[in-house]
Chains A and B, each alone.
Chain A
């Protein structure tokens, strides 16, 4: 029908904008990834302007593949994303089941729980790395110091002193080293995103078939088998959705890494690109293309998994 043409055309501005937003920078990245392009070069000033005469073919890609940081960044990206997904889903299911049934103060607990989700990533990172995880001045350092002092005191106590003298002196963990700072990022992002998982799972649990559950209780099904055979299958779809949304957000995790790990060697793909982009644009662009490929692999996999449920 012709009078439906205008309504149909109304989606074109959005499509058009998103197309430009996607295609223009991405094709530039693609172009830069095939040429020699650096921001500062005393030796080769001609490389500082992008031009086809500086064509390098797949040279940037080889350079990136050979740099030891690249493999490490990919491993780290995957480690961080997978750990966060694993932890948030497990914790999310447990907490959702725990607070789903009504209890005094349920509303308040819900509000307390959801709050971390709205904290801006930069504040999240600053808060955790300084005030909580710092080995000397943070709560971790204070707690470890307190425990050590207490054990020290108990060692001098008559009768039980021998028992406490067997205890080792605790040393706080520094979360600013290469590997531990990845754990710090995992901890803080898990803290932020578990509430999201809880919220989604809780909403889904409220639509669980109660009659089925009552029948199972009458049949003498244990709490565990109720959970295993009724609740868990019911949560399949929400779990898939939580995994997808989080993958979208965490593959491009940046602020946390930037704040926690600047200069200590810990990095993920976005951070590595940022590092290259300080001078070697060719390498940054080639890494960017790799990141796009990785994201596409994940996206295809995830959209296959949940695409159908979204369209129902």
Chain B
């Protein structure tokens, strides 16, 4: 028995070690990005300063000078926040209706919504450019918000639907007995009850909006350009400005990674559409 216990102890230690190695390995590129952001551009490409160097905040202080970071960041915040709000405003009534008043078509509608996510965005690239340009909406916040809202709407509805489904129907029906109208049901019963689910849906939608890199790059030039566009536009200088590029990249992904840590549990339920809990 002692031998078994001994070997399983070694097993435990080696498993712990291996798990830590895997975790650190996956995190390493992000660590590297942050580390490089504290090096000067010249130091960043020298092998002798790989881990030991004189850290500098220069890249962060010069971010505005080199890249106009704050304008892009503001645009990212504005577009992501409003797209999330609109997606919820359209998505909550829709998911409410599907979860508590399903019709025979509800399942098919849900499936159809998911399938719109599968349509390759590139297929409608030119028509979208054409439409936005002819409506005078090219490179405007409004257009970016509308597009971000619509591409995330199916996932928002699906997530909300899976959360709402778990609320007992009786609670909603009790409200009807008390003579509360539909808006009252949503506002006073559903939203308070499903607050956690709605919050994590919003968080995830915000993250997806922030990271979106097809339409935000294609439908903007400067005025409404987001951080994706900024990074995409600055990929060219190969190796020249590793320090600066790292700082601006770290500043672009840092807040989102931290937000993501808070919603990792909900992410599972949301992205597996409630099938994995």
By a beta-carbon cutoff of 8 Å, the part of chain A in contact with chain B is 3-4, 6-11, 13-15, 17-18, 21-22, 24-26, 28-29, 32, 95, 98-99, 101, 103-106, 108-123, 125-132, 134, 136-139, 142, 145-146, 191, 194-196, 199-200, 203-204, 207, 237-238, 241, 245, 247-248, 251-252, 254-255, 258-259, 269-271, 273-274, 277, 281, 284-285, 288-289, 291-292, 294-296, 298-299, 303, 306-307, 309-312
Q: Within the assembled complex, what's the spacing in Å between the Cα atoms of A252 and B245?
A: 26
Per a CB cutoff under 8 Å, which of A11, A126, A129, A285 touches B93?
A11
Q: Are A258 and B232 neighbours in the complex by a CB distance under 8 Å?
A: yes
Q: List 6 A-B contacts (CB under 8 A).
A: A28-B130, A106-B19, A113-B23, A145-B47, A245-B272, A258-B232
Supply 13 further A-B pairs (C-beta < 8 A) apart from A114-B261, A120-B256, A271-B122. Answer: A11-B106, A14-B153, A17-B90, A28-B126, A29-B127, A115-B26, A115-B27, A118-B260, A120-B231, A131-B242, A200-B276, A255-B213, A312-B275
In the complex, residue of chain A having the shortest beta-carbon distance to the beta carbon of B12: A103
Find out whether the CB atom of A142 lies under 8 angstroms from the CB atom of B253. Answer: no
- CB–CB B228/A255 < 8 A: yes
Among A25, A103, A203, max chain B CB count under 10 A is at A25
Q: B268 — which chain A residues lie within 8 A by C-beta? A: 199-200, 203
Total residues of chain B contacting the partner, CB 8 A: 97
Residue B171 at the A interface, CB < 8 A? no
By the criterion CB–CB under 8 Å, are B213 and A254 in contact? yes
Q: Which one of B119, B130, B185 contacts A26 once the chains associate, using CB atoms below 8 Å? A: B119
A277 contacts B125, C-beta separation under 8 Å: yes
The interface-forming segment of B55-63, B96-104, B137-145, B194-202 is B96-104
* Cβ contact within 8 Å between B213 and A120: yes
A128–B111 Cα gap in the complex (Å)? 36
User: Which residues of chain B from 90 to 129 have a CB within 8 Å of any chain A CB?
Assistant: 90-91, 93-94, 96-98, 100-101, 103, 106-107, 109-111, 113-129
Can you name the residue of chain B whose Cβ is closest to the Cβ of A300?
B115
Contact A191 B153 (CB under 8 A): no
Query: Is A273 in contact with B123, judged by CB distance below 8 angstroms?
Result: yes
Q: Using Cβ atoms and an 8 Å threshold, which residues of chain B touch A106?
A: 19
B40 within 8 A of A: no
Instruction: Tell me whether chain A's interface is mostly helix, strand or loop, or mixed.
Output: helix
> A24–B19 contact, CB under 8 A?
no
Q: In the complex, what residues of B have CB within 8 A of residue A13's CB?
A: 90, 93-94
With A99-B19, A112-B26 as known contacts, state yes or no: A299 contacts B235, CB within 8 Å: no
Contact (Cβ within 8 A) A248 B117 = yes
Give CA–CA (A194, B30) in the complex, Å.
Answer: 15
Q: Kindly state the separation between the CA atoms of A254 and B245 in the bound complex, as whole angstroms.
A: 20
Give the nearest-CB partner of A196 in chain B: B271
Q: Is B264 an interface position by the 8 A CB rule?
A: yes
Indicate whether A269 sits within 8 Å of B16 (C-beta atoms), given known contacts A8-B101, A200-B276. Answer: no
Whether A251 contacts B120 in the complex (CB less than 8 A), given A113-B23, A115-B26, A119-B257, comes out as yes
Query: Do residues B32 and A292 form an inter-chain contact, with CB atoms below 8 A?
Result: no
Chain A positions within 8 Å of B239 at CB level: 130, 134, 136-138
Are A291 and B120 in contact, CB atoms less than 8 angstroms apart? yes
Chain B's interface: helix, strand, loop or mixed, by majority? helix
Indicate if the CB atoms of A121 and B27 lie closer than 8 Å.
no
Q: Which A residues are CB-close (under 8 A) to B18? A: 98
Q: Which of B100, B103, B235, B276 contacts A125 (CB 8 A)?
A: B235
* A-chain residues with CB within 8 Å of residue B26 when the two chains form the complex: 112-113, 115-116, 191, 194-195
Q: Is the CB of B29 within 8 A of A127?
A: yes
Determine how close the nearest CB of chain A comes to the CB of B267; give it in whole angstroms.
7
**B214 → chain A closest CB, angstroms:** 5
Contact partners of B70 in chain A: CB under 8 A? none
Q: Which of A103, A130, A284 has the most CB of B within 10 A?
A: A130
Q: In chain B between 222 and 248, which residues have their CB closer than 8 angstroms to a CB of chain A?
A: 227-228, 231-232, 234-235, 238-239, 242, 245-246
| Residues in chain A near residue B277, CB distance under 8 A | 203, 207
Q: A-B pairs with the 8 shortest C-beta distances?
A: A288-B123, A270-B122, A25-B124, A28-B127, A118-B260, A109-B23, A255-B213, A14-B94
Complex CA gap A137/B49 in Å reads 12
Query: What residue in chain B is nearest A114 (Cβ atoms)?
Result: B264
Q: Is B10 an interface residue (CB 8 A)?
A: no
